[in-house]
């Protein structure tokens, strides 16, 4: 079995470069931005870009690619114009993913000062996206740290979405830093197991299809999202050992987004060692 361990690599100079960088870093999976993450309306991908990307995929042998949607996107925004732009931007993201053969488009769940209103706006946008999105792609909903008025930092919040929209194209991207900041303790075998029992009961383990592996600068339950290098934060190495050696997760893409990309190789080497491969 091939492990899918990698990093969020750079697309500077072309989408294909994320794959070549990933190959250099010994990645078997990569995450990338299919367009500038700070732009509302990037151009759709051209036939030439797609060709170069598919060629890089063949050359590097990296088949597992995950996209991360733009940070501007807030599908639950209280401002209707921002909400509409967010919808259009994420739909365009899903279309670019389909064109590039990328299965997962990770998205942040947005924020709203009134939690319940925000959840309803988010659910309505997701309902519309499911109706309009192309085939072959999934909406990968990221577990959030719960900073400010962010939605979806508790498993119950995802359960609420899935109850309204029981669609298998809605999947979960678990971020170890965000889970921990939100109050889910992954540090010991006992607390770790309790977290996944709860996840399974509320969401269902089969929904979890992507991992972001980041350590946390901030303590358990701080609800502050600050990534740290693997094993150097409040989460610590044992949590990553538990995740990497959990038979429920060994086939899932596991991607780092640690703060300094110059240290990606170091972080990845630690993960490969912990995975024992």
Cα–Cα distance, 231 to 223 (Å, whole number): 19
Both tokens of residue 274? 């912990």
Q: Which is nearer to Zn ion, 23 or 178 (CB)?
A: 178
Residues 86-90: contacts with CB under 8 Å, at least 24 apart: 86/110, 86/125, 87/125, 87/128, 87/129, 88/40, 88/41, 89/40, 89/41, 90/129
Q: Does 229 participate in catalysis according to the annotation?
A: no
Q: Is 111 exposed, middle or buried (0-12, 13-18, 19+ CB in 10 A)?
A: buried
Q: Compute the least distance from the CB of residue 108 to Zn ion, in Å.
A: 6
Our answer to whether residue 71 is catalytic in this structure is yes
Could you confirm whether 257 is annotated as catalytic? Answer: yes
Residue 106: CB minimum distance to Zn ion, A: 6
Q: Which is nearer to Zn ion, 11 or 60 (CB)?
A: 11
Per the annotation, the verdict on 112 as an active-site residue is no
Residues 6 or more apart whose Cβ sits within 8 Å of residue 274 = 237, 240, 241, 244, 245
Q: Binding to Zn ion (CB under 5 A): which residues in 186-205?
A: none
Residue 127 is a catalytic residue: no
Binding track over 111-150 against Zn ion, x by CB under 5 A: -------------------------------x--------
CA gyration radius for the chain? 18
Q: Which of 142, 215, 234, 267 is catalytic?
A: 142
Query: Which position among 3, 96, 227, 229 bears the catalytic label?
Result: 227
Q: Footprint of Zn ion on residues 9-38 (CB under 5 A)?
A: none
CB 143 within 8 A of CB 187: no
Q: Kindly report the number of other CB atoms within 10 A of residue 226's CB atom.
A: 17
Catalytically annotated residue among 108, 112, 157, 229? 108
HSE (side-chain half, CA atoms, 13 Å) at 96 = 28
Per rule CB under 5 A, count of chain residues that contact Zn ion: 1
CB of 247 to Zn ion, least distance (A): 26
Catalytic residue among 21, 93, 215, 225: 225
Whole-angstrom distance between the N-terminal and C-terminal Cα of the chain? 10
Q: CA angle 96-98-99, nearest 5°?
A: 65
Q: Is 142 a catalytic residue?
A: yes
- Annotation marks residue 168 as catalytic: no
Q: Catalytic residue among 200, 257, 261, 263, which?
A: 257
Nearest-approach distance from CB 47 to Zn ion, in angstroms: 29
178 is catalytic: yes
Residues annotated as catalytic (active site), given as ranges: 38, 68, 71, 108, 142, 175, 178, 212, 225, 227, 257
Footprint of Zn ion (CB under 5 A): 142
């Amino acid at each position: 079995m091939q492990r899918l361990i990698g990093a969020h690599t750079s697309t500077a100079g072309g989408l294909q470069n994320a794959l070549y960088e990933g190959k250099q870093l010994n990645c078997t999976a990569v995450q990338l931005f299919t367009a500038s993450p700070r732009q509302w309306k990037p151009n759709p991908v051209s036939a030439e870009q797609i060709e170069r990307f598919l060629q890089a995929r063949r050359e590097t042998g990296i088949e597992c690619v995950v996209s991360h949607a733009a940070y501007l996107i807030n599908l639950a925004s209280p401002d209707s114009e921002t909400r509409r732009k967010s919808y259009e931007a994420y739909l365009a993201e899903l279309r670019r993913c389909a064109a590039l053969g990328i299965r997962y488009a990770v998205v942040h769940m947005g924020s709203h000062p009134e939690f319940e209103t925000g959840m309803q706006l988010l659910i309505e946008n997701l309902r519309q996206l499911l109706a309009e999105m192309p085939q072959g792609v999934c909406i990968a909903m990221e577990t959030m740290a719960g900073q400010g008025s962010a939605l979806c930092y508790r498993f119950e919040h995802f359960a609420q979405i899935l109850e309204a929209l029981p669609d298998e194209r809605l999947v979960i991207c678990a971020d170890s830093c965000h889970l921990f900041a939100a109050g889910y303790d992954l540090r010991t075998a006992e607390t770790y197991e309790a977290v996944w029992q709860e996840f399974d009961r509320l969401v269902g383990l089969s929904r979890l299809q992507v991992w972001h592996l980041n350590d946390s600068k901030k303590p358990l339950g701080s609800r502050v999202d600050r990534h740290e290098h693997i094993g150097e934060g409040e989460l610590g190495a044992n949590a990553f050992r538990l995740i990497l050696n959990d038979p429920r997760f060994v086939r899932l893409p596991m991607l780092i987004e640690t703060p300094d990309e110059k240290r990606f190789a170091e972080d990845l080497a630690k993960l490969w060692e912990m995975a024992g491969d």
